[in-house]
Structure 1
Amino acid sequence: MKRSSAGTRRPGRCAALLATASVVLALAAPVAEAAGTGGPGAGAADTAGRPSSPDACAAARSSLTASLDTLVTRHGIPGVAAELTDPRCGRWDTARGVADRETGRPMRAEDRFRIGSVTKTFTATVVLQLVAEGRIALDAPVERYLPGLIRGGDGHGYDGRTITVRQLLQHTSGLPDYTAALVQLPVEQWRFRHAEPRELIATALKIPPPEKKWHYSTTNYLLAGLIVEKVTGHGVESEVTRRILRPLGLGDTYWPGDSTRIRGSHSHSYFSATDEPDAPLADGTEWNMTFGGAGGALVSTPADVNRFFRALFGGKLLPARQLAEMKRTVPADPGRLWPGARYGLGLIASPLECGGWWWGHGGTVPGGHRALGAVGPGGRSIALALTAVPSTEQAEADYRATAETAFCAPTGDHQLKETS
C-alpha cells in the first residue's frame, strides 16, 4: 500500500486488523441518556445540514468526493464507495478507485463488501425486538438463557450469573475478546476454517479479564446471538434475515456462512501481510467469516447499510422505548473508538466538530474491508466502503475527516440527482 509521508505507519498484519475488526469505527437525533452518564443529550446542537445556498447540495457532494479521492490518491486505498442521503438533497452515491487491482475494474457503489462489526447493530436490533416482545429481559443474567456456558475460565472467575444481556450489548460484561487469541496464530490456520460460536467463546474464557470496565469484545455478540437462538429456536442469521433484511428489502445483504467468496458484483479487499514499510498488499477477499458470526459476518452494500440505519432511526424496526434503550450510552475507551465516542447497545455515538452527534457503527475485517454506517443531525446519513484499512495515522485521520465532511458540509434547497 502506498504510505503517507505525513503520518507514522499504523500497525499492520492481521493482528492489527483483528484489533480494529473487533473494534471499529463506528454511530440522530437526541439520545435518551442513562442517568449521570453525560454525552449526547436532548440539547445537542443540530447545526449540520442547515441550508446555505441553492448550490450547497452540489458543493457538499463535491466535498465528499474530494475526501474520498484523498483516501485513494494520497493513501493508496484501492477503492472506496459511499452513499449519502439528505432530506434536502435526496440520495446520491459515488465510487472511486478500483474494485479489483488485478483486472483494474473500477469500483462501483453497488458492489457488495464485508461490513464486519456493523453486523453488531443488526444483532442488537433483533435482541431489542425480542425485548419488546417480552422474550428477553435486558437486565436478566446471561445464565437465564445460556445456563452454565460462562463459568470460571482457567481461574479467571467469569460467571454468567453476574453478567446481564445489557452488558453484553454495551461491552461492559468484563469478558475478553477471543480475537486476542486468534492473532497469535498464523492467519492461514483459521482464515478458511469453520468456527463455532461456543468454540470461540471457550477460547475467550481462557484469556485474562480486561483491565477496563468498558472493553470492546466480539465475544459479547456471539453470546447475544446464542441468546437469540435460545429464545426463538432459530439461529441469529435466520432471525436477522426474517426480521430486518426481508422487511426492508435489503436484497444485497446476506450471511455468507462457510462460503469464503462474496456473491455477485463485489469489491476485493486488501491487507498488508507484514509490518514492513511499503509491504505489498495481499488480496484478502476470500475469508471464512464464521469467526465473526453475530458480531461481524454480514455482507452488504453501501445502499443497504444506509437504508438499514435510516429505518432503525426512523422507528421502523424498534418501538420508541427500545430505541431509547439502544441509545443510552456509557463512556467508551478513547483509545479504541473515535475521540469522545460513547457506546450504547450496538451503537456508537460520536461528537461532530460542527455540533451534534453521529450514530451508527463501523467495522473492519481482517482481509481489509472497512465499513461505516451512520445517521447524523438533520436526518443526513452516510454509508462508506473501503477496500483496505488506512495504514498511517494521517490516513486514519483523513478517513475520519470523510465522515465529518459528510455530516458537516452545509446543504441547501438544490436537489441531488436521486440514484435509481
Structure 2
Amino acid sequence: MGIRIAVVVALLVATTGGTALADTDREVIQQGLDEVVQAGVLGAQIRVTHDREHFTARSGLAELNGVRPVPFSGRFRAGSITKTFVSTVVLQLVAEGEVSLDEPVGRYLPGLIDQRITVRHLLQHTSGLADHNELLPLDPAGFEQIRYQHWEPAELVALSTSNPLEFPPGAKHDYSNTNYVVAGLLIEKLTGRSLERVVEQRILKPLRLNDTELPRDDDRIHGPHARGYWAIDGKPVDITRFNPSVFWAEGNLVSTTKDLDTFYTALAGGKLLKPAQQQELVKTTAISPEYGLGLTVQTLPCGTTVWGHDGGVPGFGSLVLTTPDTGKRVAMSANTGPIVGDPAPGLQKVLGEIFC
C-alpha cells in the first residue's frame, strides 16, 4: 500500500533478545502492546500461536473518546496482506498450466503494460512500474475528497503507465502496488471470474475463513470492529469507512487475526500450493533478497527466519509473521488514532519476545 507500516521492516532488522515462544512471557507481550498504544495508536489486538496453543491480547480502545476495548476477534482492514492471497492464486494457476511465471504479462493482457514485464516481475515487485498510489491524494486532506469514489482497476493501472518505467524490468526490487492490480486483472482474465469470487472459492471457503472478504465497493466493515482515525487540520476524523476499490487487489482485504493466522499456517504448511510453486513463493534473489512472491522472507539477528507481510490503509495497520515450520506465529492489527507517535519500541518488544 501507499500507506504502510514502514516501521515493521526496520523492526525485523533491529529485534534481538527474548525467549523461545514456548516460554513466551505474556506480560511482556501486554507491556509491548500497551507501549504501542501509549505511543499514539488508539488500539491494538494480537494473536500469538505456538504450535496448537495460542493466546490473544489487546490494548487501547475501539473508538475515540469511548470506553469499549478493541474486540479480541474484531475485523479490520488488512491492507497489503491482500498481496499474499493474490500471489497464492496466481501460483495455483501456474501449477494448473494456465499461466507461466516467466512469460510476459502481455501474452495474457495485451497492451496493458510494458511487453518486457513478466508475471514473476509483478509478484516480486521487480517490474519497474510506477506506484499509482504515489499519484493519488492519499494524505488525510486529499483522501477525504475521494474516500467514497469508485475506482476501476484499469484506471489505477493507467495512472501508473502514464509515467515511464522507473527501471528496466528485472533490474531491481522496488515495491509498487500497481504490480498487484495487474496481477488481479490477470487472475480475472485467466479464470473469467471476478477476483473476489476466485479468492473466495480457492482460499476462503476451503479454509473456512468466514470472517474474511475482499469488498470491492462496500465501504463498511461488517461485524465487530474497532474504528480508525487520522487528523485533518488538527481535528480527528473517523476514516473507518471508505470505498475500498481504490486499493483493490493490492490491499482491500478485511479479516481477523484468527483467519489470517489460519491462512498463513496453511500456506507455509504447503496446503495451498504444490511443492514447485511453494519453492517459488519463498525464493529470494540477489535483486530481491527479502521478498519472494507476495511474501517477505527475513532472518532476524537472533537466527529466526520469518515469512509474512505487513499492511496499512487509512485507519488500520496489520502484520502477520510465521516461522517456516509454522511453530511460531503472530497476527496483529492496530487501529490508528488522530496522532500517532513512534510505536516501534513497543512492537519491537512484542516481536522480540515471540520470535527471539
Q: Fold conserved (TM > 0.5)?
A: yes
Determine which of 281, 286, 302 is the counterpart of 2:257: 302
Determine which of 127, 152, 175 is the counterpart of 2:129: 175
CA distance in 2, matches of 1:141, 1:24: 34
Call closer, same or farther: CA 1:331–1:112 in 2, change over 3 Å: farther
Determine which of 60, 71, 80 is the counterpart of 1:108: 71
Deviation at 1:327, TM superposition (A): 0.4
- Preserved CA contact (<8 Å) 1:254 1:299: yes
**Deviation per CA, 1:366-415, whole angstroms, max 9, x where unpaired?**
x22001111026611100000028944x423433443233212xxxxxxx
What percent identity do the matched residue pairs reach? 40
Structure 2 matches for 1:114-133, cutoff 5 A? Answer: 114-133=77-96
Call closer, same or farther: CA 1:298–1:397 in 2, change over 3 Å: same
**Deviation per CA, 1:63-104, whole angstroms, max 9, x where unpaired?**
21111111112x0211100111102x7011122111112432
CA distance in 2, matches of 1:236, 1:283: 29
Call closer, same or farther: CA 1:208–1:102 in 2, change over 3 Å: farther
Q: Secondary structure at the match of 2:353?
A: helix
- Preserved CA contact (<8 Å) 1:22 1:179: no
**Deviation per CA, 1:265-314, whole angstroms, max 9, x where unpaired?**
1111122335xxxx444211011110111110010011111111011011
- Preserved CA contact (<8 Å) 2:304 2:355: no
Deviation at 1:331, TM superposition (A): 5.5
**Deviation per CA, 1:102-124, whole angstroms, max 9, x where unpaired?**
43211112010000000000000
| Residue of structure 2 equivalent to 1:257 | 216
| Residue of structure 2 equivalent to 1:196 | 152
Residues 1:375 and 2:322 aligned together: yes
Residues 1:354 and 2:302 aligned together: yes
Call closer, same or farther: CA 1:332–1:348 in 2, change over 3 Å: farther
- Preserved CA contact (<8 Å) 1:79 1:107: yes
**Deviation per CA, 1:218-242, whole angstroms, max 9, x where unpaired?**
1000110111111110111111110
CA distance in 1, matches of 2:190, 2:7: 29
Call closer, same or farther: CA 1:207–1:280 in 2, change over 3 Å: same
**Deviation per CA, 1:196-239, whole angstroms, max 9, x where unpaired?**
00011001112343367211111000110111111110111111
- Preserved CA contact (<8 Å) 1:331 1:342: no
Structure 2 matches for 1:86-101, cutoff 5 A? Answer: 86-87=50-51, 90-101=53-64
CA distance in 2, matches of 1:295, 1:184: 15
Residues 1:273 and 2:236 aligned together: no
- Preserved CA contact (<8 Å) 2:215 2:244: yes
Structure 2 matches for 1:213-224, cutoff 5 A? Answer: 213-224=172-183
CA distance in 1, matches of 2:182, 2:226: 30
CA distance in 2, matches of 1:69, 1:298: 26
CA distance in 1, matches of 2:7, 2:272: 23
Residues 1:237 and 2:201 aligned together: no
In the alignment, residue 62 of structure 2 is paired with which amino acid? A
Determine which of 276, 286, 292 is the counterpart of 1:321: 276
- Preserved CA contact (<8 Å) 2:62 2:225: yes
Q: Give the RMSD, CA atoms, in angstroms.
A: 2.3
In the alignment, residue 128 of structure 1 is paired with which amino acid? L
Call closer, same or farther: CA 1:109–1:281 in 2, change over 3 Å: same
CA distance in 2, matches of 1:210, 1:346: 20
Residues 1:145 and 2:104 aligned together: no
| Residue of structure 2 equivalent to 1:343 | 291
CA distance in 2, matches of 1:99, 1:199: 34
CA distance in 2, matches of 1:83, 1:22: 18
- Preserved CA contact (<8 Å) 1:22 1:217: no
Query: Structure 2 regions of 5+ residues with no counterpart?
Result: 10-17
CA distance in 1, matches of 2:159, 2:21: 49
| Residue of structure 2 equivalent to 1:336 | none
Call closer, same or farther: CA 1:188–1:270 in 2, change over 3 Å: closer
CA distance in 2, matches of 1:206, 1:362: 28
Call closer, same or farther: CA 1:297–1:22 in 2, change over 3 Å: farther
Determine which of 119, 130, 134 is the counterpart of 1:165: 119
Call closer, same or farther: CA 1:22–1:214 in 2, change over 3 Å: farther
Query: Structure 1 regions of 5+ residues with no counterpart?
Result: 1-17, 27-46, 151-158, 334-340, 409-420
Structure 2 matches for 1:16-35, cutoff 5 A? Answer: 19-21=2-4, 25=8
- Preserved CA contact (<8 Å) 1:138 1:166: yes
Deviation at 1:183, TM superposition (A): 2.7
**Deviation per CA, 1:128-150, whole angstroms, max 9, x where unpaired?**
01011111100010001101112
Deviation at 1:23, TM superposition (A): 6.8
CA distance in 2, matches of 1:299, 1:332: 31
| Residue of structure 1 equivalent to 2:242 | 287
Residues 1:70 and 2:35 aligned together: yes
| Residue of structure 2 equivalent to 1:49 | 20
Q: Secondary structure at the match of 1:78?
A: strand
- Preserved CA contact (<8 Å) 1:22 1:117: no
Q: Secondary structure at the match of 1:21?
A: coil
- Preserved CA contact (<8 Å) 2:34 2:346: no
CA distance in 1, matches of 2:6, 2:272: 25
Deviation at 1:332, TM superposition (A): 7.2
| Residue of structure 1 equivalent to 2:13 | none
In the alignment, residue 197 of structure 1 is paired with which amino acid? P
Q: Secondary structure at the match of 2:27?
A: helix
